[in-house]
Amino acid sequence: MTHEECKQIVLDIIADIAPDEDISDVKPDVRLRDQLDLDSMDFLDIVMELRKQHGIEVPEADYPKLASLDSCAEYLTPKFEAKALT
């Protein structure tokens, strides 16, 4: 899975949990919470959807690694690749 595919997965989840947000202009290197009206519950929903839809576990200690789209891709790409091997 590529970084771009990971970013799209995160954007798709955000579109599902916050349908009123305009995700068409999200900057990949800026914190998501600084660009979108996401609160801590929305962020937890993103983590829960990653687990539910894709079987990706994100420990609470790693939450800061999901701050921006770029950091999400950096963190999630190896997890998706490891998942594909199992």
Homologous superfamily (CATH) of 3-85 is ACP-like (1.10.1200.10)
pLDDT at 84: 83
Distances 63 to 17, 22, 24, 47, 52 between C-alpha atoms, Å? 17, 23, 23, 8, 17
In the numeric block, the tokens 């068409």 are attached to 24
Provide the pLDDT confidence category of residue 35 given band limits of 50, 70 and 90. Answer: very high
Return the C-alpha torsion angle 29, 13, 84, 71, nearest 10. Answer: 20
What would the mean pLDDT of 6-28 be, rounded to a whole number?
A: 95
Q: What is the pLDDT of residues 38-72, one digit of tens each?
A: 999 999 999 999 999 999 999 999 999 999 999 99
pLDDT at 48: 97
pLDDT over 80 at 86, yes or no: no
The torsion angle over the Cα atoms of residues 12, 15, 21 and 25, rounded to 10 degrees, is: 20
